[in-house]
Amino acid sequence: MEPSHENTAQNSIDEPTVQAASVGDRRALRDIYEATSDRVYRLMVRMVGIQDADDLTQQVYVRAFSKLSQFSGDSKFETWLYRLATNEALQHLRREKHRRTKELIVEPAMGATDQVEQDERVEMVRHALDQLDPELRAIFTLKEESGLSYQEIAQTLDIPEGTVGSRLTRARRELRRLVEDRGE
């Protein structure tokens, strides 16, 4: 099942939908999937690479739907879901014991176009992001890609809010260093 490509970033999953889904209401399950799958998929792409993102996204939903009764409602549903997704990605990375790298293939051209230069910069950042420690990558991705607040990231990763700030600073510093090293 491909993740939905509707723009549902502003939608939040309400308690009645979660409760209906927890007792097997297929429409509620579908509503949750459609409202959140794009964001979970993007998180997976950033965490594990596009090669494994589809499969891991599906695993997240299988796990989430089987554990809906464990959602306590202490945080937003999306925060709980991001925690499951982040844990799934970190477990995958630990199992694989290596980080994925993606090489940009550019055919030689007479003159570099703006698009090729932009693609190279994007690829340089992606490559650097792939080299970040998975836990730093998770924080960076949750903040920059998913737009979560420090408090939401802290809840998602079950770490103190102050730790989020210091690790985000470290992730940005390390990412900058990796991009600069690759650019030389």
Range of the domain at 68: 15-183
Number of domains in the chain: 1
Query: What DSSP element (H or E) covers 10?
Result: none
Q: Give the tokens for residue 143.
A: 């903040």
In this structure, is residue 6 part of a structural domain? no
In this structure, is residue 125 part of a structural domain? yes
What is the model's pLDDT at position 2? 43
pLDDT digits (tens, 9 = 90+) for 27-83: 999 999 999 999 999 999 988 888 889 999 999 999 999 999 888 888 889 999 999
pLDDT digits (tens, 9 = 90+) for 145-159: 788 889 889 888 889
In this structure, is residue 5 part of a structural domain? no
What is the model's pLDDT at position 41? 94
Percent of the residues in the chain that have a pLDDT greater than 70, as a whole number: 81
Q: How many CB atoms lie within 10 A of CB 67?
A: 12
In this structure, is residue 126 part of a structural domain? yes
What is the model's pLDDT at position 82? 92
Residue 5, CA atoms < 13 Å, CB-side half-sphere: 1
In this structure, is residue 21 part of a structural domain? yes
Q: Give the tokens for residue 119.
A: 């693609």
In this structure, is residue 40 part of a structural domain? yes
CATH at residue 48: 1.10.1740.10
Examine the pLDDT at 103 and tell me if it is beyond 60: no
Q: What is the mean pLDDT of residues 106-134?
A: 68
Q: Name the E strands within 38-137.
A: none
What is the model's pLDDT at position 180? 80
Can you give the pTM of this predicted structure?
0.62
